């Protein structure tokens, strides 16, 4: 059985590109883009 881990990336309206821009390609490839929660 494989292990699955989840990571949370916190950002506000103005800085999503900066947060993701600082990540390594391998970290971005591991993101579950279908699991996004938006909070207003």
pLDDT (tens digit per residue) in 22-38: 778 888 777 766 555 55
Residue 13 has pLDDT above 70, yes or no: no
**Euclidean distance between the first and final Cα of the chain, in Å?**
37
Q: What is the mean pLDDT of residues 8-15?
A: 68
- Token code pair at residue 16: 């999503």
The helix/strand/coil state of 11 is coil
pLDDT of residue 39: 62
Q: Long-range CB contacts (< 8 A, 24+ apart) of 33-38?
A: 35/6
pTM exceeding 0.85? no
Q: Long-range CB contacts (< 8 A, 24+ apart) of 8-14?
A: none
């Amino acid at each position: 059985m494989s292990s699955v881990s989840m990571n949370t990336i916190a950002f506000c309206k103005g800085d999503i590109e900066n947060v993701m821009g600082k990540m390594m390609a391998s970290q971005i490839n591991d993101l579950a883009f279908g699991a996004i929660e938006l909070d207003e």
